[in-house]
Structure 1
């Protein structure tokens, strides 16, 4: 088996990956430098090869994405050939994204952004009362790997966390309850913090609109670490300007990069980061991807079901 790796694995991560296919030949390069010849020779590709390069992958059996999302690889045109196994990296980003969004939320609740502005202005200012997560009600939309990590962080600080997903099923650690998305508007009025890690879909695009924010509790916090198209951005700005929301933290926008003239930049009590909660900034992400990919290489060789396989 020829395995083409497009990710910046260090030696330890390479060892983890290669243990999944001891007899395979591994070629390491980057997405920018990979050649059509390397793509054609690959039986398995580890990393999100640009969809427009896939026609060169004539021998491909497995495409292991380095992202949890796979929107660009499944569409009516069939970007990935039907006989190629497509797997994503769900389970790799829970710690990284949840910690990032949790830190953004606490920064808002403790007014740390304003104090940073005061420091730069050389001003000694008391910005007044702050809030805590203790005894608050936190509503997490999207109770998968990232949502469960986030729930544990909030629960550790004394919050009461309810998760929302399509089917209730088992209630993971960190959540006190699990509900379905059909109950969203029944739960919004009681939530002190509303957090979304939802993927992009027909059901979620534009979900966080005026109706959504009007249903929220006065003075609640809104956090989005999922997809930018969840939010109608003008409606988010209006909710912040009216103080319906005490603050909002977003790592995703529409479009990305966010244009310099977007009114989001100047919205009050809005904390924006440039879609960096995931990526590879925290070392555990690449550790996790290497382990997932190694597992799938083993399963592929044995003809067994793959982890995180995506229908396409």
Structure 2
């Protein structure tokens, strides 16, 4: 059994993976340095590699991603039908929920304008601020990340509405549950709208001119899922019209955002370059390795894997 590890790991992570795969051959190679012959020999790949290289992995039986998002690997022709695909759902809740909370509080308390004033040596009161307490927070996507964010804003006194693809039991920490079918009525009630949606046919262009118009005037919009859930020009129009109080984006469409793109200069828009996840928080990398190690041990024993991805929906089963 040949196992190719392409994600970045530290020494203690290597030891953890080796312990979970006794008797197997593990090869640690960064994703950008993998040779085609190494891909061809691999029975298992742990870590994301460019999807266009995967047809060379002719012996591949299982791909474990180090990301929660799997959309690029669900496209036809990337993986053979009999290859198992698993993601790292469960590793990113802490990092991304804290990033969202930081962005939201910075907008609500006008920390961004005050920082701009500081750089210009301007002593100026920016006026009234808002609070998470008693705010209605609408979260689209209540998997691990959405639930982690819900717990944090709930602790600060928010009323939390979760949106998922289909109805079901209401997760702990969610006050109310809805689906995309009643999204417009939910948008009208929300003081804060958070998108943690993957890229699917149903989510592409979801936030367009009509959806921004349906949002409460003065609401905040945050996107940490996929940039193509937003029609960028429509968001720019909503911001320039003063309809929204602020928009914090860790993902954009297009991405990377070109230097000349008007979104950079749109008042009230705050952009980070898709950095809320990855391994910026050491705990995230630890959790990714733990998921991979558990799955590796299970795979070698012929046991079911966690975080199996449905390639039709792009979501974890």
Q: TM-score, length-normalised on structure 1?
A: 0.96
Equivalent residue number for residue 183 of structure 1: 182
Partner of 2:12: 12
Contact 2:71 2:198 survives alignment (8 Å): no
Partner Cα separation in structure 2 for residue 270 and residue 36 of structure 1: 42
Which residue number in structure 2 is paired with residue 32 of structure 1?
Answer: 32
In structure 1, the residue matched to 2:225 is 226
Which residue does the alignment assign to 1:59?
59
Aligned to 1:122: 121
Q: Is the contact between residue 32 and residue 49 of structure 2 (CA under 8 Å) also seen in structure 1?
A: no
Secondary structure of 1:26's match? Answer: strand
Aligned to 2:240: 241
SS in 2 for 1:223: strand
Q: Secondary structure at the match of 1:32?
A: helix
Q: Report the Cα offset of residue 25 of structure 1.
A: 2.1
CA distance in 1, matches of 2:280, 2:113: 25
Aligned residue in 2 for 1:306: 305
Inter-partner Cα distance in structure 1 for 2:36 and 2:123: 59
SS where residue 280 of structure 1 aligns?
coil
Distance 1:146 1:237 in 2: 26
- RMSD of the alignment, in Å? 1.4
Does the Cα contact within 8 Å between 2:227 and 2:252 map onto a contact in 1? yes
Looking at structure 2, the residues matched to 150 and 124 of structure 1 have their Cα atoms a distance apart, in angstroms, of 34
How many residues of Structure 1 are paired with residues of Structure 2 in the alignment? 311
Q: Which residue of 2 aligns with 1:275?
A: 274
2:68 matched to 1:68? Answer: yes
Paired with 2:148 and 2:249, the residues of 1 have a C-alpha distance of: 17
In structure 1, the residue corresponding to 2:278 is in which secondary structure? coil
CA distance in structure 2 between the aligned counterparts of 1:127 and 1:253, rounded to whole angstroms: 28
Alignment partners' CA distance in 1, 2:29 and 2:269:
39
Q: Shift of the alpha carbon at 1:55? A: 2.8
1:161 maps to 160
**Aligned equivalents of 2:241, 2:79: Cα separation in 1:** 46
SS in structure 2 of the partner of residue 19 of structure 1: helix
Q: What CA distance in whole angstroms lies between the structure 2 residues aligned with 1:277 and 1:293?
A: 21
Deviation at 1:41, TM superposition (A): 2.4
Give the ranges of 4+ consecutive aligned residues of structure 1 lying more than 6 Å apart after TM superposition. Answer: none
Q: CA deviation at 1:15?
A: 2.6
